[in-house]
Structure 1
Amino acid sequence: MASEVAKEDLNLLSKCPKDRIEAFCHGLIDGFIGRSKLRYKDYGELWTMEEWFKVVDACQRCVKRMSRKQLTKEEISQLFDGVSDEYIQPFVSCVNVRSEDLRKHLLEEVASISHSHLQDFDWKLKLALSNDKISSVQEPLVTVEFITKSGDESKSFSVEMNKEELKQFVSSMEAANKIMVQMKTE
């Protein structure tokens, strides 16, 4: 863990007054999830520019790690190795309060690794009574519309499947989900 977050970078937190640490943590999380970022000019009297980048980077790594896994108190203490508990507790509180925002951001971050990702889908069930070759078919068909997002651009495409194709599609999605679950637990 020490290789992930430099101990001396986290120790820079001690320069921040205790009454400002919670606001710092919330600002850090806001910046992390894509809202307004912390500004150096608000904390410039506490840290040099170099120290600012180090402390923000170290704290973001800790917040990211805390939000990915449910860490025990001992693991959190190891993560913030050498930092006073009065500085650790506001981080724990902020991560707990903002856990849904953090989880959503991490999922979006993982999903955006590929060029495009699934944003939404919709489905419709139809009953085909006949077609141009057979007068009486009575075959159920499902139309699935996929909406994908690539950057700021959304695209939509539809796939029509019969009962067998739908079963095959669902089983392949279940297999993909099983692999995702295995990857999360490892």
Structure 2
Amino acid sequence: MPNKSLESISNALTSEQVFLEFLNRCIDEICGRKGPAYEVFKSSANWSLEEFKEFTKSIKIFFYEAVTKHWHKDELLENLDDLESSRQQLVLECLKIRKDEINVALQRDTCAISGPVLEDFDWSLKWVMGSSKLSSLREPLLTVDFHTSQGREKPTSISSETKPKINTVSLELDKQELKTLVSALQKAQDVLTSWQS
């Protein structure tokens, strides 16, 4: 970890259970959920807001680098030499349990660099029964909402909110437009499949 005063900061969290909770909140923030809040942890530790931010940032950078650089145990311990051994073991256990989750979040952020990423979609089918001018019109229309997002902030930031902004793109398609869309998506899938093989 980058700062040699981190041992005294981490020791401010006297309870190992509180320290473990703090580590999990840091990982939650990397994964796009709510991170550690100063108000929650200040009662368990005697540290300033600046120390809290510094320690949070250092822990998040450690987890980020440990996963992206595939550190082995010796490298992990070398980068945790600022902490006492019991705290090192808690960090290692936490990393072991949640490494896959961190990896998925980082891959998702990397994929999002190139542009919007599809998060989810909703669809509904309606029948247009006609209007005063076209009383005999009966046509099915498909409404599709694509929910897309951009990547999250890098874990080196101190902000407590890393959720991606969700944008919704809505389409209303008749039968022919739907066939065209499905055909285009199948072609895109075929291209991706050929790249993977």
Give the partner amino acid of 1:15.
Answer: A
Give the partner amino acid of 2:90.
Answer: P
Q: Deviations over 1:30-50 (max 9, x none)?
A: 122122221111222421011
Aligned ranges 1:21-170 → 2 under 5 Å = 21-44=19-42, 45-117=45-117, 149-150=148-149, 151-153=165-167, 158=181, 160=183, 169=191
8 Å contact 1:118–1:149 — kept in the other structure? yes
Q: Secondary structure at the match of 1:47?
A: coil
8 Å contact 1:116–1:148 — kept in the other structure? no
Residue 158 (structure 1) shift: 3.5
CA distance in 1, matches of 2:115, 2:104: 19
Instruction: Point out where structure 2 has 5 or more consecutive residues left out of the alignment.
Output: 121-145, 150-164, 172-179
8 Å contact 1:111–1:117 — kept in the other structure? yes
8 Å contact 1:7–1:80 — kept in the other structure? no
Q: How many residues are matched?
A: 144
Residue 85 (structure 1) shift: 1.5
Structure 1 outlier segments of 4+, above 4 Å: 154-157
Q: 1:169 to 1:32 in 2, by over 3 A?
A: closer
CA distance in 1, matches of 2:28, 2:117: 24
Q: Which has the higher contact order (CA 8 A, sep 6+)?
A: 2
CA distance in 2, matches of 1:109, 1:170: 20
Residue 24 (structure 1) shift: 1.3
Instruction: Point out where structure 1 has 5 or more consecutive residues left out of the alignment.
Output: 121-146, 176-186
Residue 126 of structure 1 corresponds to none
Residue 2 of structure 2 corresponds to 6
CA distance in 2, matches of 1:21, 1:46: 13
CA distance in 1, matches of 2:101, 2:108: 11
Give the partner amino acid of 1:90.
Answer: L
Give the partner amino acid of 2:13.
Answer: C
Residue 18 (structure 1) shift: 4.1
Q: 1:115 to 1:43 in 2, by over 3 A?
A: same
Q: 1:119 to 1:38 in 2, by over 3 A?
A: closer
CA distance in 1, matches of 2:26, 2:106: 15
Q: 1:43 to 1:148 in 2, by over 3 A?
A: closer
User: TM-score, with normalisation over the residues of structure 2?
Assistant: 0.59
Q: Deviations over 1:57-106 (max 9, x none)?
A: 00110111122243222101221133211111111111111123212211
Question: RMSD between aligned alpha carbons?
Answer: 3.2
